[in-house]
Amino acid sequence: MREITHLLANDVTMPGAVSGRIGDVFDPNNGVVQAQVTLGDKALLDRAVAVAKAAQPAWAATNPQRRARIMFAFKALVEKNMDELAHMLSSEHGKVIADAKGDIQRGLEVIEFCCGIPHALKGEYTYGAGPGIDVYSMRMPLGIGAGITPFNFPAMIPMWMFGPAIATGNAFILKPSERDPSVPVRLAELMLEAGLPEGILQVLHGDKEMVDAILDHPDIKGVSFVGSSDIAHYVYKRGVDAGKRVQAMGGAKNHGIVMPDADLDQVVNDLSGAAFGSAGERCMALPVVTPVGEKTANALREKLIPAIEGLRVGISTDEEAHYGPVVTASHKAKVEQWIQTGVDEGAELVVDGRGFKLQGHEDGFFVGPSLFDHVKPTMQSYKEEIFGPVLQMVRAESFEEALALPSQHQYGNGVAIFTRNGHAAREFAARVDVGMVGINVPIPVPVAYHTFGGWKRSAFGDTNQHGMEGVKFWTKVKTITQRWPDGSPDGSNAFVIPTMG
């Protein structure tokens, strides 16, 4: 049985037993345990933090250009090893190879942004703020940061976190999901190969015990998290109570508003990928479609049914598959239970994906695509995140009703509107109570030099991920007020507090 272990600096001692606990890593395509991951404990974290604390000052003192060169080298290595990483990712997560490469590429785009870190770290300067007085600011690293990442993007989200944190001069400890931990370890190995000093990036595996140890550790100054909203709130509160800077991204229930003038063929094509791609296991998936008007709803439904029934579900290496299995047997059961909940609540199950079996892979964790119609905002299956290949249609009679649905929902991650009407799109974008908006763009994940973050229960904390918001999160500002006086040589005026008059 293959063992997945932590990636630590050489001088971190790791007693044989560590915590004595292991976790199973499945191949979702066939339901077989393919590896076991060693789960760490507080004592292991303490040793890793001690090494990071010793290594970080020299890394912070390394000039930004040299840090950027390591980012350039890392980017090249990831591109060189793209096929290996994609197959490794697919074998543990289940997403098809094309999706896996997209996962890696979107992470690399943040690394590309980090290659320009010298420019992003430039401070502000005011000459002559007072008589002979200049004021300037510097962005300083926090010290040691940590990232707690989810199973659904085992390449992208770690790079979203450790890229900006390391580029700005911090040491970083990554705690990836124990469900698919191999890719984060491999990425850290490639960072070392790119020239990153030992101790600056370490990967520690674990479960809640490790998460709590990270949140409580006094030497970890900043924590970034992505996961479900309940856990995000827990992470945020416990981390902040411990005096840390915390950004915690939670769940989502993203809506796609379809106006009567929308190109329905394009909408159906976009929904097929946005709702069912990666088996719906994306916080920026589009699991709710809201057509405006009965005529729009009926026409959209007529086009959606054959499109959904024509989706090909296959193993992750099937080049013709639109999506693969979900990550675990328990998650498959959870998704299918949500489908049953929708039925029990009175929604119309138009396409039922339960009980799907793939020939030759009957024990794989596959869920067929499902479509609900006549879903009501009062239904629990609408209120909560299903995180699977399930699309719910919530009909609206007017633009105002459609606008209210995502605005009043507990989640506020992303939303999209499909229309040819520029005024309607502009009005919607300005008024909707959601953090990221797409106009004829079904999955509005911003490019790397902008920032990613939702509102309401989709995000806790006031700083977004990557872009300049990421630079701000992983740094603290030091402001210097200086004067070089023409005072007496004996320095008799040295301790007079300057004024700005």
Active site residues: 283
313 closest CA partner among 263, 357, 268, 282: 357
Give me the phi and psi of 152, to 5 degrees please. Answer: -80, -20
CA–CA separation, 288 and 375 (whole Å): 9
364 closest CA partner among 32, 95, 31: 31
CA–CA separation, 6 and 27 (whole Å): 20
277 closest CA partner among 312, 226, 229, 228: 312
CA–CA separation, 408 and 421 (whole Å): 24
**Burial classification of residue 207, based on how many CB atoms lie within 10 Å of its CB (0-12 exposed, 13-18 middle, 19 or more buried):** middle
Q: Cite the DSSP H helix spans in 62-181.
A: 64-80, 82-93, 97-114, 117-120, 156-167
**Burial classification of residue 41, based on how many CB atoms lie within 10 Å of its CB (0-12 exposed, 13-18 middle, 19 or more buried):** middle
**Burial classification of residue 77, based on how many CB atoms lie within 10 Å of its CB (0-12 exposed, 13-18 middle, 19 or more buried):** middle
Helix (H) or strand (E) holding 427: helix 422-431
